[in-house]
Each structure stands twice: as structure tokens, then as C-alpha cells.
Amino acid sequence: MSRADIAEKILARMGIAGAGDGVRDEDGWRPGNGPPIVSVEPTGAHEVARIGSCDRDDYDVVVEGARDRFHEWRARPAPVRGELVRALGAELREHKEALGELVAFEMGKIRSEGLGEVQEMIDICDFAVGLSRQLYGLTIASERPKHRMMEQWHPLGPVGIVTAFNFPVAVWAWNAAIAAVCGDTCVWKPSPRTPLCSIATQHLADRAMARCDAEGVWALASGGADVGTWIAEDPRLPLVSFTGSIRIGREVAAKVAGRLGRSILELGGNNAIIVAEDADLDLATRAIVFGAVGTAGQRCTSTRRVFAHAKVVDELLGRLTRAYSTVKIGDPLENGVLMGPLCSEASVKAFEAALVAARAQGGTIVRGGEVVPGGGYFVEPTIVRAPRQEDFPIAHDETFAPILYVFSVDSVEEAIDAQNAVTQGLSSAIFTESMRHAERFLSPIGSDCGIANVNIGTSGAEIGGAFGGEKDTGGGRESGSDAWKAYMRRQTCTVNWGGELPLAQGVEFV
Ligand code: NAD
């Protein structure tokens, strides 16, 4: 069976035939008049589909539709809006296997991680349905007699969602499920590297919308950088949620800020695990291997740096090397495979370039380091023993590949300083049995990242917490906790139920 046939078969299991259209709004699917998007699966590097994309006119029609729909959608009670998200969750439950396999096929993460990504969508739907009855505001004591002051949250408007290739479906769901219960409509521009994943997801969303008389709440505007730029510059979209690299995120942030819009930025990470002298090395090894090798190092939360105490670094390197030698590389849909390919030729080149730099800067490759020959974008998971981080500039970059830099340190304090010495601030972890080390790491003088874990690796967050990072990672928060507030506008209301008109701060004006 050809690779294109496999894609077609997976889509057919979800009841999707002929996935060539790239634009979907309230009026249905159409190809779009923009340049075609080519889906290349990374396992064999074969073209598997060509999909239409938006030109400027298509894009304007989609955004106008989202605006019109918003005016009606915002007036529905939030728990009724929750019914749409409940229906989406049901579609995802029914098609979890097929959608998860499509993610594995087109993006390259292994099947189990593909299914995990769809489970994350289901989880956020459950969370959002509950949230639809909990969009709470505060009641605040007024200083004036017979006055009541309160805060309420209203829908904001249509949201532009721009997503990255590595979580081709879950990141849309994090945004779309929360935005929908908050009363917002959405225009999604997915990564052009994973168009089939977004088209399949949109088809499942279509069925949920049809069931809830909610056509047009979630729209799809496929395309490349141009569509992303239109979203960033578009004043009709008061909020832009952007997930991607720091370089592009910086451009998007400037454009959105230039029109005084709001953005949620979920950008690159450079995540570290600290292994203290007293760490449980068995736990630490397993967490590091999952964090560094999982998704072939292509998670924003992938473990890229390890700071191990000098007394345990050799033992840890030995354990990591042995564990790496058992990692089976291959077709992500095959049983037993733990690491699939990188997503593109450009990613393979970035892997090679980072290792050239690492060697030139004094790093030693302890394990891996090679491109795997024979078609597809496969590389070996790689461990580099690194000199001091200040002498090793390559460790400051996020190379989206399975490269792990291991540093030796003399104390937890030194490790925390080194961990924080990069510009990114997404995820971090410490392995220790010491309460003092753990609490220092979590304290204001500890990790400066948006995520800080103790005896858990850097990747694999749950949806219940707010997800995101500090510094160049962008400061955005998505998913659980009170991240929903970014999708709504806050209103402070004061009601005077007395017969006088007292002024605040005791001001008299008679
Ligand atoms: P990317 O920055 O190349 O692309 C991201 C999205 O931006 C794509 O949809 C792309 O088409 C679009 N885009 C490209 N140029 C644009 C422009 N000029 N204006 C507007 N949009 C534009 O990122 P990628 O390679 O797809 O994904 C990998 C990156 O994403 C990594 O840096 C990773 O850390 C990051 N990421 C972060 C998170 C997070 O939650 N922090 C999650 C996933 C991925």
C-alpha cells in the first residue's frame, strides 16, 4: 500500500473522503484560491496529499463569517455553549484511534503519543464543559453606602489561532474548547506541515457544530506565513493565540501589539532537568529519556539540558547511554518503536548543524550523533557531554531534535543559576530526595520557568494547570486553571441602590 493510500484509509475510518479543501466556514468547505499546501509524511518523505489554502479574499470571507457568528454566539448562555464542546468531546472519543494515528502518520510522533495528543483534546473538552458553568467574577466591597461592586466576564470576539506542527491538533483544542465556552468564535490557521491533521479535526468539529446549531463557531483558514501575518495584523480579531518559534512569535507579537490587540504567545523552550547528588537515578534516567527522546525531541517541553551533580554525572551518563541503546527507531505506527522521524529535511539539517557547533565548542558526543540512512527524516537520539554552559553557546538555542546536553555541576544553587541563564523559560525539573533542594527550586530564588516539577520530567503536562512559559517563551497561558480569562473581557460594574449620589474618595462636587 502506498503512503498516500495509508493516509486515505485513516481518513476514511473517520468518514472523511477527498480531504483536498483547505477552507471551512459557516457556508461549508471550499478549496481556497491560495497556493496548494503539500503534505509530506516524514517516515518515507513521500508526498501524500495536496490541499487548498486561503488567498486574501478567502481569508476575509472566513473572518467576516466568524464575526457575524460571534454576534449570535456570545448571547447564548455559557452552559448552552458548553453543549457544543461536549459534542466535540464525543466525536473525539469516537475517533480517538484514527485521529491519533493520523497525527503519528503525518507528524511522526509514535502512535501512543498520537493517541495521547487526542486524549489531551478530550480532557480539555471535559474541562471546558465544566468551566461553562464556572466563569466566575468577584463581588467587591464598595466604599460608598448602598452600592454594590462586582466584576463580570464577557465574550471578547473572534480569536485567531495559529498553531505549530508538533502538536497539530491538541493546541487548537486547548484554544477552541475554552474560547467556545467563553463565547468567542475561532479562525484556525494550522501548520502547513500537518494539513491532514487539521482537516480531519475540522471535520469532527463540523459534526459537533451541526448537532448544536453552531455552524461557523470554529472555522479553518489553511495557509502559510501570509495567512498568519493577516491574522496578526487583523483588528477584527481582538485576540491572537500563537504557538510556534520565538523568531516568528516576536514578529506576531509586535504586529498584534501595534494594533493594540491581545496575544497569547506559546513559544520555544530550552528545558532543563537538575539531578541532585541525592537523586533517585532510576527515576531521573527514565524521565530524562522520555523528555529528550519522546516525540524525537520535538516538544516545546523536550528536555534539552541536564545539570547533574559531579558526584553522579558519570553514573547518570552510563545509565542514559544504556537506555538510549534500547530505543527502537522506525515507523511511528509500528509496535515497539519509541522514536519516529523528525518532521522535515530542514530539521535534519538543524540537527547536523547543532552537532557541528557542539563539537567545535568542546562538546563530546557520548551516544548517537548520526543521521539514519535510507529515506525519511530519521536521526539518532544523541547525548553530548558538554563543558561549562558559559563556554557552550549552542546550549542556548532550541534545536528541535533529540539532542541532550549533559553538564556537570557542583551544587544545586549552581545548577539553578545555569538553568535560568538562557533566554527561554518554559519547563524545568529537579530530581532530589531533599526537601530543602526541592523547596529552593520552587521558591522565588529557584526556577524562573512557567513550569517547575519535582521528581517529574519537563514534558507531559496535564491540562488542569495553566500551560506556558516566561521570558522569550512569551508569557502566555493556555489550557486549565484561570487561563480562560484571556479569552474574555473583564467588566467592573457598580450599582447604586440608594437615593444619594456619593462620590468615591470623598470628593464633593456641589
Ligand atoms: P513556526 O514558528 O515555524 O510556525 C508556527 C506557525 O506560525 C505555523 O502555523 C506557521 O505557518 C506560522 N507562521 C510562519 N511564519 C509566520 C509569520 N510571519 N506570521 C505569522 N505566522 C507565521 O514553528 P514550528 O516549526 O511549526 O513549531 C515549532 C516551534 O513551536 C518550536 O519553537 C516549539 O518550541 C514551539 N512550540 C511551542 C509550544 C508552547 O506551548 N510553548 C507548543 C508547541 C510548539
**Inter-residue contact 188 to 214 (CB < 8 Å):** no
**Can you read off the three cell numbers belonging to residue 56?**
486574501
pLDDT digits 0-9 by tens, 427-466: 999 999 999 999 999 999 999 999 999 999 999 999 999 9
- Per-residue DSSP letters for 406-451? EEEES-HHHHHHHHTTSSEESEEEEE-S-HHHHHHHHSTTS--SSE
**Inter-residue contact 430 to 278 (CB < 8 Å):** no
**Inter-residue contact 180 to 186 (CB < 8 Å):** yes
Residues 317-344 as b or e (16 or more Cβ within 10 Å = b):
bebbeebbeebebbbbbeeebbbbbbbb
Beta bridge partners of 177: none
Report all structural domains of the chain as residue ranges with CATH numbers, in order of start.
3-267+474-491 (3.40.605.10), 271-454 (3.40.309.10)
- pLDDT score at 431: 98
Establish whether residue 376 lines the binding site of ligand 1, counting it when its CB lies within 6 angstroms of any ligand atom. Answer: no
Active-site pick, 26, 106, 117, 266: 266
**Inter-residue contact 161 to 187 (CB < 8 Å):** yes
d(CA 447, CA 450): 9
Torsion angles phi and psi, residue 156, rounded to 5: -100, -45
- pLDDT score at 67: 98
pLDDT digits 0-9 by tens, 67-80: 999 999 999 999 99
Largest CA distance in the chain: 87
Burial of residue 207 (CB within 10 Å: 0-12, 13-18, 19+) is: middle
Indicate the range of 24-28, 203-207, 259-263, 294-298 predicted with least confidence.
Answer: 24-28
> Which pTM value belongs to this model?
0.98
**300 noted as active-site residue:** yes
Helices (H) and strands (E) in the chain, counts: 14, 23
Q: What is the mean pLDDT of residues 363-373?
A: 97
- pLDDT score at 205: 98
- pLDDT score at 1: 87
374 pLDDT higher than 90: no
Mean residue pLDDT across the chain: 97
**315 noted as active-site residue:** no
Q: What is the mean pLDDT of residues 406-411?
A: 98
pLDDT digits 0-9 by tens, 481-496: 999 999 999 999 999 9
Establish whether residue 117 lines the binding site of ligand 1, counting it when its CB lies within 6 angstroms of any ligand atom. Answer: no
Establish whether residue 225 lines the binding site of ligand 1, counting it when its CB lies within 6 angstroms of any ligand atom. Answer: yes
The pick from 38, 53, 242, 267 for probing ligand 1's pocket by mutation, whose C-beta has the most ligand atoms within 8 angstroms, reads: 267
- pLDDT score at 505: 95
Q: What is the mean pLDDT of residues 291-312?
A: 98
CA 191, distance to chain mean position in Å, is 12
- pLDDT score at 134: 97
Please, which pLDDT band fits residue 345 given cuts at 50, 70 and 90?
very high
Which residue's CA is minimally distant from atom 13 of ligand 1?
Answer: 225
Within 10 angstroms of residue 492's Cβ, the number of other Cβ atoms is 11
